[in-house]
Structure 1
Amino acid sequence: MARILIIDDRPEDLEALNRALAAEHGLQAAASLQQALQVTAGEPGPDLILLDATIAAIDRRQFPGRLRPGAPGRATPVIVISASEGGDDEQTWLEQGADDYLPRPLRPAIVAARVRIQLELQAARARLLDQNRSLTAEVARQLADNLMIQDVSIRALARLAEVRDPETGDHLRRTQRYVRTLAEELSTHPRFAAFLTLENIELLGKSAPLHDIGKVGIRDEILLKPGRLTAEEREIMKAHSLLGFQAIQQAEQDSEQPIDFLRMAREITRWHHEKWDGSGYPDGLAGDAIPIAARLMALADVFDALIAERVYKRAFPVELAGRMIREGRCSHFDPDIVDAFVAREADFIAIARDHAKARPLVAGEPAAAAAAPPPAAREPDGCP
């Protein structure tokens, strides 16, 4: 049973409306807008309002405002009753926001039909709104599920490299955090702001762990060799960037639609060993021709390789690693990215300390690692 509010002070109208509607609906009557507000105060709003045009004209600012409570799509329908017999102001009231218009004299059958139509329309709008909300919630749930599956898949892929080289696992997690730190620092920089949106920073975090995925294609005797690589072995090691790129590119081609994080992972994987001065590999890109994501990864990768102990070298003290990064400004690294590193160097050290295997050496600790020569023989792992 619908609740209908009648705002009308004419006895003949109230009698006609009662005959037309009382059998099927609950009726409330008010003789003025103010009384209507008092009648409905603190109660659920009516399902429909029948409003005398003469009363409504007293203060049009209240029509169809406070008398029409409800969320968008659920606002109470209002049917205006003409000011007088033969009234010709139907268009005016419809333009004012009325949902329908009843001319006088009121005929019960027409009143009942118009009320029924408005209540059915309102019920249909409410059902559609509920369906849209349910659909939105379902889409959001599926999107969250897809993102979770995507994250799990990325971690599974990244762990392929970790299985081959246990040291790689912590390296992937650390470099992921380093890249995020650099991206956040540069997000307002004029050269980087357009690219480093919140969405792209999130994609960077997802993509970064895949940068060394190509190492699964490198033979163990080279990947895990404790000593200096030969010239031939170094060329084989360098191939990991192209192997990773090709694997991700194939995944993109197999996808039914573009996947943003794969595009970014492809750029990082292929070009994170390029250098600002063009002396890197595999394509010898220089300057801004190197994708931003790859430039960020280049610095993160080198820093972590310097401070971490590997099978072929001891860990470098953090002071020396920082100095080597700064010395690579304008040669190995984008100068603005080096400046961002300097600004957030303490955060880099804190990230490294979160992982025991990469605890950076500091002044006053045993200096055996500090005496070691720079690990130039293993450039493919990111050292200058």
Structure 2
Amino acid sequence: MDVLIVDDEPTNLELFSHMLATTVGATPRLASDPVAALDWCATNEPDLVLLDYMMPTMDGLEFLRRFRALPGKAMTPVVMVTADTESAVRHQALQLSANDFLTKPVNTAELRARVGNLLTLRKAQRELANRATWLADEVRKATAAIAERDREIILRLSRAAEYRDPETGDHLLRMAAYAALTARNLGMDPDQCTLVRDAAPMHDIGKVGIADSILLKRGRLTSEEVTVMRGHARIGADILEGSSSPLLQVAAQIALSHHEKFDGSGYPQGLIGTAIPIYGRITAVADVFDALTSERPYKKAWTLEAAAEHLRAGAGAHFDPDCVRALLADWPAVCAIHQQHNTTPSQPERKAA
């Protein structure tokens, strides 16, 4: 362990170095210039500093003040070497968080004992810090594993919904990417962008609770059927809510609120403006944009430009204007997402009854 000895007298440096020669684990680092010693400490980690008070260019108190201001040096043990009559200096040194003192003339046995004890504490301190770092790393790994598990749950539930709904997996990938792009352009932090990307594919999970006679009906729905169909938002929220997972919590918000409209004419709650959760407002824009630009058995795909104009026209009524602007702010990214996940629509294979 490195013991930095700071003293302007070369004789004292050699003396202290000799005294520490038999101290187990101590490697002396000698510095006759306190300014140069501070520069060394800025990029190195001494385990203990043995510091003389009386130095001409910078006394020990000033060195200690500057040393404690360096990053990571608040807990490094410092032993101040003073004369027996300098009690006022000791008081100031204590205020600057000196850890121990040695009185001139320094006794070899006392120096070895004090330095040895402080190095033992320093070793325990470093081991504790390493343990804390290891634990933090393990927590990060566990958190990542939980997040990956949650993403897998989302993916599998989304696949289950696909078997009930004629939308393709490409639609889920595209609208999730559009949602993440919108969140990023709104200035949301990376974690929030990831949440909305991973949760958005669950927006229509509630359709698993809608009868095929309504969900797959080719013609126009009756008013009663429309009411039943709109129930998928509440069903989706019921499936997802109550989880301790942040991802599933966001997915529940999206499932419930992605059919709300900015002017309050949406469903199921008729929320207005920013009363609609931001994740729901983002998903509404991403979902409609991709639905318009996707080919379906019952319609041709709109051009990206036409769909963008539709969003602009609906801003403030159907859509949150900020979300519309955020999605369309990076047009090259929008085009790239559309091209990246644009394969021929396919239907999940249905087994015979």
> What TM-score do the two structures reach when normalised by structure 1?
0.72
Is structure 2 residue 269 aligned with structure 1 residue 283? yes
Equivalent residue number for residue 382 of structure 1: none
Equivalent residue number for residue 288 of structure 2: 302
State the secondary structure of the residue aligned to 2:54.
helix
Find 2:246's aligned residue among 256, 260, 278: 260
Give, in whole Å, the separation in 2 of the partners of 1:221 and 1:315: 25
Give, in whole Å, the separation in 1 of the partners of 2:126 and 2:60: 27
Is structure 2 residue 224 aligned with structure 1 residue 232? yes
State the secondary structure of the residue aligned to 2:106.
coil
Equivalent residue number for residue 348 of structure 2: none
Is structure 2 residue 153 aligned with structure 1 residue 161? no
Find 1:293's aligned residue among 272, 279, 283: 279
Q: Is the 8 A contact 2:4 2:46 kept in 1?
A: yes
Give, in whole Å, the separation in 2 of the partners of 1:276 and 1:58: 67
Q: Deviations over 1:272-308 (max 9, x none)?
A: 1222333322223333332232222222222222232
> Which has the higher mean CA deviation after the structures are superposed, 259-268 or 208-217?
259-268
Shift of 1:344: 4.8
Q: Is the 8 A contact 1:73 1:129 kept in 2?
A: no
Alpha-carbon spacing, 1:64–1:273, altered in 2? closer, same or farther (3 Å): same
Give, in whole Å, the separation in 2 of the partners of 1:45 and 1:330: 58
Equivalent residue number for residue 217 of structure 1: 209
Pairing of 1:199-210 with structure 2 (within 5 A): 199-210=191-202
Q: Deviations over 1:307-354 (max 9, x none)?
A: 322243343444544444344344322344444455455644443333
Give, in whole Å, the separation in 1 of the partners of 2:332 and 2:16: 81
Give, in whole Å, the separation in 1 of the partners of 2:4 and 2:283: 66
Amino acid at match of 1:238: R
Amino acid at match of 1:287: G
Q: Is the 8 A contact 2:61 2:92 kept in 1?
A: no
Shift of 1:47: 5.1
Aligned pair count reads 340
Shift of 1:129: 1.6
Shift of 1:140: 1.7
Equivalent residue number for residue 334 of structure 1: 320
> Which has the higher mean CA deviation after the structures are superposed, 109-118 or 123-132?
109-118
> Which has the higher mean CA deviation after the structures are superposed, 141-150 or 74-83?
74-83
Give, in whole Å, the separation in 2 of the partners of 1:186 and 1:214: 28
Pairing of 1:358-377 with structure 2 (within 5 A): none
Alpha-carbon spacing, 1:101–1:329, altered in 2? closer, same or farther (3 Å): closer
Q: Is the 8 A contact 2:82 2:102 kept in 1?
A: yes
Pairing of 1:1-384 with structure 2 (within 5 A): 5=5, 7=7, 9=9, 21-25=20-24, 32-33=32-33, 48-55=48-55, 59-60=59-60, 63-64=63-64, 72=72, 77-83=77-83, 85-88=84-87, 89-165=89-165, 167-187=167-187, 196-249=188-241, 252=242, 255=243, 257=244, 259-340=245-326, 343-344=329-330, 347-357=333-343
Give, in whole Å, the separation in 2 of the partners of 1:80 and 1:171: 70
Give, in whole Å, the separation in 1 of the partners of 2:49 and 2:204: 68
Q: Is the 8 A contact 1:74 1:122 kept in 2?
A: no
Amino acid at match of 2:259: H
Q: Is the 8 A contact 1:268 1:297 kept in 2?
A: yes
State the secondary structure of the residue aligned to 2:161.
helix
State the secondary structure of the residue aligned to 2:269.
coil
Alpha-carbon spacing, 1:261–1:48, altered in 2? closer, same or farther (3 Å): closer
| Overall identity of the aligned pairs, in % | 39
State the secondary structure of the residue aligned to 2:163.
helix
Amino acid at match of 1:135: L
Alpha-carbon spacing, 1:62–1:92, altered in 2? closer, same or farther (3 Å): closer
Q: Is the 8 A contact 1:86 1:104 kept in 2?
A: no
Q: Is the 8 A contact 1:273 1:282 kept in 2?
A: yes
Amino acid at match of 1:325: L
Shift of 1:203: 2.0
Amino acid at match of 2:182: L
When Rg is computed on C-alpha atoms for both structures, the one with the higher figure is 1
Q: Is the 8 A contact 1:208 1:265 kept in 2?
A: yes
Q: Is the 8 A contact 1:217 1:240 kept in 2?
A: yes
Q: Is the 8 A contact 2:79 2:100 kept in 1?
A: yes
State the secondary structure of the residue aligned to 2:263.
coil
State the secondary structure of the residue aligned to 2:260.
coil
Give, in whole Å, the separation in 1 of the partners of 2:16 and 2:131: 37
Give, in whole Å, the separation in 2 of the partners of 1:150 and 1:185: 25
> What TM-score do the two structures reach when normalised by structure 2?
0.77
Alpha-carbon spacing, 1:178–1:14, altered in 2? closer, same or farther (3 Å): closer
Give, in whole Å, the separation in 1 of the partners of 2:35 and 2:316: 78
Shift of 1:161: 0.8
Give, in whole Å, the separation in 2 of the partners of 1:327 and 1:67: 62
Alpha-carbon spacing, 1:35–1:210, altered in 2? closer, same or farther (3 Å): closer
Give, in whole Å, the separation in 2 of the partners of 1:349 and 1:225: 32
Q: Is the 8 A contact 1:74 1:126 kept in 2?
A: no
Shift of 1:210: 0.8
Alpha-carbon spacing, 1:299–1:225, altered in 2? closer, same or farther (3 Å): same
Amino acid at match of 2:226: R
Give, in whole Å, the separation in 2 of the partners of 1:36 and 1:342: 56
